[in-house]
Structure formats: C-alpha cells, structure tokens
Amino acid sequence: MHSRLLSAFRLIVVCTLVPAVAISQVAQSSQPLDRHARKIQKIVASYPPGSPVFVTMRDQSQYLGNLGAISVSTFELVPRKGPTLNLAYSGVDRIQKADYQTSSTIVVRHHHGLIVGLVLAGTIIGLVIFAGIELKKS
C-alpha cells in the first residue's frame, strides 16, 4: 500500500513539473528583444544556413563557426572544433560573414600589438646579450 501511494505521488509530481518547465521555457523565449538584438536577428536571418560567421559577444569573447539553426531569440553556431553553441541575439555585439582563409587574419589582427611587443622585447634582449658578449671580449 505504501509503495503504491509513493508511486502515485511521484506520478503527480512529474505530471505537474513537466508542464511548468515547458511553460517557463516558452515565457523566456517570448521576451521582447531590444533594438540591437533585433538588428542582430535580421542580420543572422539574412545569412543562409551553414554560412561561416565571426561573432563578437558583448563580453568581448569571439567565436568563429558556421551558422546553424535559427530561432526567435537564439541561433546556433557550429565551430570547427568543439560543441555547438546556442547564442542569444541579446548577447551578441557584432556578427559578420567570415571566410575561413581570411578569418585567421581577423583573429591575428586582435593580437597584433602583442606580437609587435614580443618581437620588440626579443630584439632588445638579443642586443643586450650581444653587447654583453662584446664587452667581455674587450
């Protein structure tokens, strides 16, 4: 008797939680998008599925991949390596079409200052070592 009562209670809990979760998901996806998010949504909708895109998020993280499924409030980005990302339009700062041959130059351009600094530091260290060797010889 006790196990039947427990099973009935579990069934009631499951039957009430599943619709509640589904309703909350619909409520979250139906929130209106702000002006910038609507602009990003229109840009994404203009690209054909599978297009290579370069995405910059509002937190300045960057992603490169192919455009996947598009929904009302999110879109999928399928990177070359790793799992598919589900990105919200409201979190995207910028999106642009990318070409895999030129996309590496996009990423390198952001690290241009770092590369120049490392080359400069290496040159200075080389000169100091060379000068130290020359001073020891004389």
Give residue limits of the domains in the chain. 1-30, 33-98, 100-138
- Predicted local distance difference test score (pLDDT) of residue 103: 47
Local confidence pLDDT in tens for the 138 residues of the chain = 555 544 444 534 344 443 443 344 444 445 688 999 999 999 999 999 999 999 999 999 999 999 999 999 999 999 888 899 999 999 999 999 987 654 444 444 455 566 677 777 888 888 888 788 888 877
- Predicted local distance difference test score (pLDDT) of residue 120: 78
| Residues 6 or more apart whose Cβ sits within 8 Å of residue 69 | 49, 75, 76
For the packed helices 100-110 and 112-137, what is the interaxial angle rounded to 10 degrees? 60
- Predicted local distance difference test score (pLDDT) of residue 111: 53
- Predicted local distance difference test score (pLDDT) of residue 86: 94
CATH 2.30.30.100 is right for the domain spanning 33-98: yes
- Predicted local distance difference test score (pLDDT) of residue 94: 94
- Predicted local distance difference test score (pLDDT) of residue 112: 56
Report CA Rg, the chain: 27
Instruction: Please give the structure tokens belonging to residue 81.
Output: 């390596």
- Predicted local distance difference test score (pLDDT) of residue 82: 85
Global pTM?
Answer: 0.52
Q: How many other C-beta atoms are found inside a 10 Å radius of the C-beta of residue 33? A: 15
Cite the beta strand spans of 58-124 per DSSP E: 62-70, 74-79, 85-88, 92-97
- Predicted local distance difference test score (pLDDT) of residue 3: 55
